[in-house]
Amino acid sequence: MVNPNHPLPHRKNLRIPEFDYSQPGAYYVTIVTQERKLFFGQIIDGEMVLNKIGKMVKEIVEGVPRHYQNIHVEVSAIMPNHVHFLFLITDVVAGHRACQTNQTNSGQPQGVDPTKEQLSLPDIVHRIKSLTTHQYMIGVRDKGWPRFDKRLWQRNYYEHVIRNQRDYKAIYEYILANPMNWEMDEENSTL
């Protein structure tokens, strides 16, 4: 129960003030599991070996362009307890894919809200977190996947607006090399 006399902890806003996160551009995002739980597989000899949960997360992240017009996943890395992805937003508008249904997902509408003109970075991250959490809960119920405590993902996420080609290249290479660098990764909860 929340004590009304004790103020809630202040959460630091990691976003850039006054920046329009729906504008076309390149964005780097990292989302981390709650308590850095190792849900998605393991690193073996510098390579990420995805388990069934990791494969589900990978499918959702890589499937973003199929459901959201003009969003392109350039590169992603599913790690044991976090996900990195670099994506491009190019003039996002609701279109014919906005109301398509995905037959493998109970016929639920996928994609942009038809009344919404643009998706922003927080919209995209929210949708990835929501879809993966929903699919994970189905896996817990139907496939015996391990339960998570209260939430699958940490509440916030790391983002970086990519400003130039050099920045893009460095982040792209960082994401590709992430499994090889797991032993030194700050997200490695086994350290």
Q: Higher confidence at residue 101 or residue 49?
A: 49
Q: Rounded to whole angstroms, how far apart are CA atoms 180 and 77? A: 11
Cβ atoms within 10 Å, residue 17: 5
Q: 99 and 67 in contact (C-beta within 8 Å)?
A: no
Q: 187 and 82 in contact (C-beta within 8 Å)?
A: yes
Report which secondary-structure segment, H or E, holds 120: none
pLDDT in tens, 128-151: 999 999 999 999 999 999 999 899
pLDDT, position 60: 95
Task: Give the domains, in start order, of the chain with CATH numbers.
Answer: 25-181 (3.30.70.1290)
Among 40, 83, 64, 71, CA closest to 175: 83
Tallying the residues shown for the chain, one arrives at: 191
Does the pLDDT at position 30 exceed 70? yes
The torsion angle over the Cα atoms of residues 100, 79, 162 and 97, rounded to 10 degrees, is 0
pLDDT, position 26: 93
Entry pTM: 0.76
Does the pLDDT at position 77 exceed 90? yes
Confidence band for 18, pLDDT divided at 50, 70 and 90:
low
Per-residue pLDDT, averaged over 50-77, amounts to 92
CA-to-CA separations, 83 to 20, 95, 102, in angstroms, rounded: 23, 28, 23
pLDDT, position 93: 52
